Amino acid sequence: MHPAFSVLIFTVTSGAGYGLLAWLGAGQLLGYTQGFIVAQQLSLGIVAMVLISIGLASSTMHLANPKNAWRSFSRFRTSWLSREAVFAILLYPVAALYAAAIFLQWPSINLLAGLSIILALVTLFTTSMIYASLKTIRQWNTPMVPALFMAYALISGGSLFLAVNSFFGALNYQLLAVVIGLVLITLALKLVYFFWQGKPQGATIQTATGFSQASVRLLDAGHSAPTFLNREFGYQVAADLLLRLRIVMTLVTFIVPLGLFYWVFDGAGRTELLAVAWFTMMAGLLLERWLFFAEARHVVRLYQGEQRT
């Protein structure tokens, strides 16, 4: 699949924003934000909403006919993209009320924090289901995709939560340990995903053409220059480059931030390193999302001559 840069930015930054909002809300419910001053809580919320808004604005950039984007709220009953649009917009008034509750110390703050967590996680789930619901792309059509999207959001939001708090001089070492644990779990999930993705399975050129008992080779694709289908689905990267990028991605997204976290946790590293860890992780997640697209092989490629997906 062709990796559209606007979609990479959208899923990574809004993911971190939803994750951060979930951590903030959970802090309200579980009590780990009790000692926070209002400015600290509000700045966490504002950072989350800015990231979400950057992501959503970026997502409209890949529309070829954005003047009809307002119609995307209308097919809530069948379309995951429509559901995503509805929940993403629904979050804004709830988040605004939550911010007001923090500022004015409303008694209903726990309810609003809980609603914000639910909406953030549901929006993340709907985004991931846009990809996971496509039967045409076996690399995406798996429950691991929503699990990974949620995990990425929680680790990138969690590290940002820690980085902002360390800026306010209030680093919670227990939370840092939780984030380290989550990063390890996400890494394990991603390695399982890589292993599973390498297994040959799914449709082949035989089932695509109906000649299930013979070898089938493409003689002529029927066009002299690349078409929309080639550009959208025929994205091809050398296999050895993909392998190297997987290693770089694993190092930058998981290993380097884990090292920095442990350094800070150990008390040896300065807490500013948490911000470095977050930026490193975000760069790694951008590469991860690029790989997510570049390694996805749509079944239309079978008609273009590929033997299997």
Print the binding letters for residues 286-305 with other proteins: x by CB under 8 A, - otherwise. Answer: ------------xxx-xxx-
Does residue 221 touch other proteins according to CB under 8 A?
A: yes
Contact 54, 9 (CB under 8 A): yes
Residue among 31, 105, 107, 217 that touches other proteins (CB under 8 A): 217
Residue among 48, 134, 180, 291 that touches other proteins (CB under 8 A): 134
Does residue 308 touch other proteins according to CB under 8 A?
A: no
Q: Distance between CA atoms of 223 and 87, rounded to whole angstroms?
A: 42
Part of the chain binding other proteins (CB under 8 A), chosen from 27-35, 116-124, 131-139, 265-273: 131-139
Residue among 6, 43, 136, 197 that touches other proteins (CB under 8 A): 136
Eight-class DSSP state of 252: I
Contact 25, 116 (CB under 8 A): yes
Eight-class DSSP state of 232: H
Task: Compute the Cα dihedral for 222, 223, 226, 228 and give only its sign.
Answer: negative
**Looking at beta carbons only, is 132 or 286 nearer to other proteins?**
132
Does residue 1 touch other proteins according to CB under 8 A?
A: yes
CB atoms within 10 A of CB 146: 18
Q: Position of tokens 């080639």?
A: 230
Token pair in block for residue 263: 């350094």
We find the least distance from the C-beta atom of residue 77 to other proteins, in angstroms, to be 9
Q: Which of residues 195-214 bind other proteins (CB under 8 A)?
A: 203, 207-211, 214
**Looking at beta carbons only, is 84 or 288 nearer to other proteins?**
84
Q: By three-state DSSP, how is residue 158 classified?
A: helix
Helix (H) or strand (E) holding 39: helix 38-59
- Cα-flanking dihedrals φ and ψ of residue 222, to 5°? 90, 5
Part of the chain binding other proteins (CB under 8 A), chosen from 166-174, 178-186, 225-233, 265-273: 225-233
Q: Which of residues 65-94 bind other proteins (CB under 8 A)?
A: 65-69, 71-75, 78-82, 85
> By C-alpha distance, which of 294, 259, 289 is closest to 153?
289
Does residue 130 touch other proteins according to CB under 8 A?
A: yes
Half-sphere exposure of 244 (CA within 13 A, CB side): 5
**Looking at beta carbons only, is 29 or 229 nearer to other proteins?**
229
CB atoms within 10 A of CB 63: 12
We find the least distance from the C-beta atom of residue 18 to other proteins, in angstroms, to be 19
What are the residues binding other proteins (CB under 8 A)? 1, 62-69, 71-75, 78-82, 85, 130, 133-137, 203, 207-211, 214-229, 232-233, 298-300, 302-304
